[in-house]
Structure 1
Amino acid sequence: MTDTMTDALRLTGIEKRFGDTRILRGVDLSVRAGERHALIGPNGAGKSTLFSLIAGERRPSAGRIELNGADTTRLAPAALSRRGLARSFQTTSVFARLSVIENLRCAVLASQRGAAGFAARWLGSRRVEARASDVIEAIGLADAAHREAGALGYAEQRALDLGLALAGGAHTLLLDEPTAGMNRAEAARAIELIRATTAGKTLLIIEHDMDAVFGLADRVSVLVQGRVIATGTPAAIRADAAVREAYLGGFVS
């Protein structure tokens, strides 16, 4: 376990119960500042539930969550966003009737604090326009700036999802299966986009594509039946006998 000052995200003893059903059973996890950390495990292991706790959408039954050393266990999503945490979901969360650039403007505006009002911020802020323009270039959607987001292809919508997380200036990103539903070529492009646009940021990613995981992550944690059974480099996780038995199976030769 690393020193707290070097951890962007730290979970200690996290449990989650729904009635008598225990989903998470004492999860300890640390994600270092600037690290790309993958969370893998079989369906039903509790990965998305863990993300919902980190993002403030649910409360843990026990345990503590820290973001940059501060206790954020019971903060709501809006408060966590203001502290620099952003989450993308398994399915796209764009505003389908708004254009791509309008989606990004909204994301930038949501992160603004202390401005006179929503309309004044929208009409008068050069910072909003500059930030939205920078992000739309970074995610490769400048040519689609004025298209409705709902008219984009699926992979483009997932790129916009990433852009929404980036537009608010978040330093810690939770990406939930960013390549789900993509073919191999689309997934490879998505991973390269993530790599390019999240440089210097802290990334915790749920992903089932093992090529993507082992090609992107600095470290990998394996969640099985609500417990982290291993954390290590991709090479160490590949070689871990317990991980082979519990999850990777035939993937690792």
Structure 2
Amino acid sequence: MIPALALYGIEKRFGSTQILRGVDLEIEPGERHALIGPNGAGKSTLFNLIAGGARPSAGRIHLFGAEITRLAPAAIARRGLARSFQSTSVFARLSVFDNLRCAAQLAERDRTRWWHRLSGSLAVDARAAEVLDAVGLGARRDVAAGTLSYAEQRALDLGIALAGGAHTLLLDEPTAGMNRAEAARAIELIRATTAGRTLLMVEHDMDAVFAIADRISVLVQGRIIASGTPGAIRADAAVRAAYLGERIEQRADPRADPRVGDRAQRGAKP
């Protein structure tokens, strides 16, 4: 099977400072993968390279077998990869529905000739309405996006990616800045709306990581030191020493399902 996303020997240097040191990673279609690691490990830099915001100093990036290493962000987005940022990126003055409609319209534009504009518009509205309900913002349809709460804006960010037809999503700390209840709702929303899509997520909240991810990779000092299931990562001595430490011992019953447990400890972020 061709990986949905594949990184081969990715390196990134800024002058004499090397941030990434030969990152190899393959993510299967439909897999939900979390990338964790301490601050300064290179996670945001790696995300930026995948999305086309910068180019690696060495190595190759493939999306479903096609190389995207040197493509611009817009070209990568047209191939079906969408990225969310740590801060929200909605159009504050547009309504929630119009934000989604803009994303759907961009996706439809690549498939529709100008003389099909009317029928395309109907398809755009239908797609935007479908995503609006999926992300739980139906009651906020006509309000300006800038007036939404922070958690609602993050939900809209996700909706914009979905409305644009992305099959591969990069989510950068999707629960950052949320309280416990908001984060729990965000986790359920991500699980529900990304079913069948490929997801790569950077997240410091280990509750979110264990609840969402099928597999986890640990990035430390620009290198991936371990990849595996949540259970395997919990038990990996190198991971514990480099990142998780003894905090994982203090969490809820270790016999619990590692993908859904430990919510009582939310807020304890490595």
Is TM > 0.5 for Structure 1 vs Structure 2?
yes
Q: For the superposition of Structure 1 and Structure 2, which TM-score range results when normalised by the shorter chain?
A: over 0.9
The alignment yields a C-alpha RMSD, in angstroms, of 1.5
CA offset at residue 103 of structure 1? 0.4
Select the residue among 224, 230, 236 that pairs with 1:234. Answer: 230
* Partner of residue 180, structure 2: 184
Structure 1 gap segments, 5+ residues each: none
User: What displacement does 1:115 show?
Assistant: 3.9
Runs of 4+ in 1 over 6 A off after TM superposition: none
- State the match for 1:99 in structure 2: 95
Secondary structure (helix, strand or coil) at the match of 2:34 reads: strand
- The aligned amino acid for 1:101 is F
Alignment gaps of 5+ in structure 2 = 250-270
State the one-letter code of the partner of 2:207.
D
The corresponding residue for 1:113 is 110
Cα offset for 1:53? 0.5
- TM-score normalised by the chain length of structure 2: 0.89
Percent of residue pairs bearing the same amino acid type = 73
1:61 is the counterpart of 2:57: yes
* Distance in 2 of aligned mates of 1:105 and 1:71: 30
Measure, in 2, the Cα distance between the counterparts of 1:75 and 1:107: 20
Question: Could you give the per-residue CA deviations for residues 158-185 of structure 1, whole angstroms, max 9, x where no partner exists?
Answer: 0000001100111000000000000111
- Residues 35-91 of structure 1 deviation map (CA, whole Å, 9 limit, x = unaligned): 000000001100011000000111000000000011111111111111110000000
AA at the equivalent of 1:113: D
Show the counterpart of 1:24: 20
State the SS of the aligned residue for 1:125: helix
The answer to whether the Cα contact below 8 Å between 2:112 and 2:120 also exists between their aligned partners in 1 is no
Separation of aligned partners in 1, 2:246 and 2:190: 27
**Are residues 1:51 and 2:35 paired?**
no
Tell me, yes or no, if the aligned pair for 1:122 and 1:128 is still in contact at 8 Å.
Answer: no
TM-score (norm 1): 0.95
Deviation at 1:229, TM superposition (A): 0.3
Q: 1:114 to 1:238 in 2, by over 3 A?
A: closer
Partner of 1:77: 73
Cα shift at 1:123: 9.1
Distance 2:217 2:106 in 1: 32
- The residue type paired with residue 125 of structure 2 is E
Deviation at 1:110, TM superposition (A): 1.8
